[in-house]
Structure 1
Amino acid sequence: MSQQLETDDYDVDHDAEFPGVIEAIRTRRSGHNFDAEAEISDETLEALVEDAALAPSSYNLQPWEFVAVQDGERLDEVVELAYGQEHIKDAGTAILVVGHSEAETADRVFGEWEEAGRMDEQAAEETKATAVGMYDDERMGRDYGIRNASLAAENLMLSAHARGLKATPMIGFDAEGLSEFLELPDDKIPVMLVAVGESGGEEPERLPRRGVEEVLHRESY
């Protein structure tokens, strides 16, 4: 039987260049216990999105958007569209991480590559054609948007944790209904809903996680 990680008492390698990052990864928790009386400020919300938008992005296309809902009545609707997950309302902020299904940023991004001297005009045009070509396949374009937006969502959650907040990701929601409610354009993909707010206290002990010996495969599966 492989070893499983069962507690929050992880050892952090303080010889690492950025031990705080490792500590954040190993101590971050999703949960349902939010302080329903607390609110996060506009400054904090904007800082979370700023950090989220620093996530890795193939070609630097940054195919993501963030829709924040904080109004109480609108949060009630989000709860309903998320199949009754009441902790969304308690959190006080729900952020829908949205992915692009079209290469809408390509002209700007590859212009920036060229302006920065990272590519000449011909290379920029050729590389842009490759990037845009991914979206000719509807599934590939959709997968690209989802994967990149998911990286941004993880950044958002780690940023929230670093600021002493709790952030809980959810993919259990009525995607069509939420898209309509938040007025997403047809070419935008609702990827992940994240509840963010002040912690309301302790959460149940973390359930066991599969250990390295079980999940790490070397050279082949």
Structure 2
Amino acid sequence: MQSQTETDEGSTDNDQRNSAADATFPAALEAIRTRRSGHNFDSDTDLDEQTLEELIRDATLAPSSYNLQPWEFVAVQEADRIDEVVELAYGQEHIREAGTAILVVGHTAPETADQVFNEWFEAGRMDEEAANQTKDQTVGMYADDRMGRDYGIRNASLAAENLLLSAHARGLTATPMIGFDADGLAEFLGLPEDKIPVMLIAVGPSGGDEPDRLPRRDVSDVLHREQY
């Protein structure tokens, strides 16, 4: 595993080391900096039910718009169904080797709004009038098809990253994929029409080391100040 004191090319970076050492949660930075999208799985070992549920629990702790939590997760582990997922994912064999495929699903409408805004009110975070007004505004905003789709993808993607970090923290290998037949997978897994497939994640016990990570773009290449 690559140390938090190493860059993607393997050299020591004092600034990175110091920022981790001074952090309130250095282990969190370690997880972010060492997580890999791996393809080397131990195909002889299955992901147990308790670990699967813990991965999903961690995923659900992701932030979301107004805490609406517009996500669902479909786990596929039966061998014949995994074979079908591999086919729908254009032959990505590491899904079969992982033994578990999780489809992260996004809501396209704020169906949890009644419950969630009531929780805002009961927690004393909003008065009843403000909670109802905000709920109505939110529901109205996501009635637009484009906004509804963006709503599902953006929020569910946050949950997907939590799942990936949770898998890494547990010593598992996981890799996200957007290369799949979305309509075919939605039909195969029985998704309702108002739910969209956002990301497919292969996850399972690690099969060992992965190739060195390719270089990442430098902060100076991607950080813009005040405007693009």
TM bucket normalised to smaller: over 0.9
What is the TM-score with the length of structure 2 in the denominator?
0.93
SS of equivalent residue, structure 1 residue 136 = coil
Q: Per the alignment, do residues 42 and 9 of structure 1 end up closer, same or farther by CA in structure 2, a change over 3 Å counting?
A: farther
Shift, 1:131, TM fit: 1.1
With over 3 angstroms needed to count, the CA separation of the structure-2 counterparts of 1:44 and 1:8, relative to structure 1, is farther
Q: Distance in 1 between matches of 2:55 and 2:8?
A: 28
Give CA deviations for 1:35-55 in whole Å, capped at 9, x if unaligned. Answer: 100111111000000000000
Q: 8 Å contact 1:7–1:206 — kept in the other structure?
A: no
- Aligned residue type for 2:9: E
Aligned residues: 218
Determine helix, strand or coil for the equivalent of 2:225.
coil
- Of 6, 9, 14, the residue aligned with 1:6 is 9
Alpha-carbon displacement from aligned partner over 1:72-93 (angstroms, at most 9, x marks no partner): 1100000000000000011011
Distance 2:8 2:60 in 1: 30
Shift of 1:154: 0.1
For residue 5 of structure 1, report the CA deviation from its aligned partner.
4.0
Q: Could you say which residue in structure 1 is the equivalent of 2:4?
A: none
Show the counterpart of 2:211.
204
Moved more, 175-184 or 113-122: 113-122
Q: C-alpha displacement at 1:202, in angstroms? A: 1.4
Structure 1 position 135, deviation (Å): 1.4
Q: Counterpart of 2:57?
A: 50
Which of 155, 158, 163 is 1:156 aligned to?
Answer: 163
Matches within 5 A, 1:97-176: 97-176=104-183
Provide the C-alpha distance between the structure 2 equivalents of 1:57 and 1:9, rounded to a whole number of angstroms.
36
C-alpha separation between the residues in 2 aligned to 1:80 and 1:190?
16
Q: Distance in 1 between matches of 2:76 and 2:143?
A: 33
- Partner of 1:46, secondary structure, is helix
Secondary structure class of the residue paired with 1:16: coil
Task: Describe the superposition over 1:84-141 as per-residue Cα deviations: whole angstroms up to 9, x where unpaired.
Answer: 0000011011000000011100000011111111111101100101111121211011
Would you say the 8 A contact 1:28–1:158 is kept in 2? Answer: yes
| Residues 108 and 195, structure 2, Cα contact 8 Å, conserved in 1 | yes
Measured after TM superposition, the shift of residue 7 of structure 1 is: 3.3
What's 1:88 paired with?
95
Segments of 5+ residues of structure 2 without an aligned counterpart are: 1-6
Gaps (5+ residues) in structure 1?
none
Determine if contact 2:8/2:213 at 8 Å carries over to the other structure: no
**In structure 1, what residue type is equivalent to 2:220?**
E
Given that residues 48 and 159 in structure 1 are in contact (C-alpha distance below 8 angstroms), is that contact kept between their aligned partners in structure 2? yes
| Contact 2:39–2:174 (CA under 8 A) maintained in structure 1 | no
Q: Which has the higher contact order (CA 8 A, sep 6+)?
A: 1
Backbone CA RMSD of aligned residues: 1.3
1:8–1:62: structure 2 CA closer, same or farther, 3 Å change rule? farther
8 A Cα contact 1:95 1:193, kept in partner: yes
Task: Report % sequence identity.
Answer: 72
Measure the CA separation in 2 of the matches of 1:8 and 1:150.
31
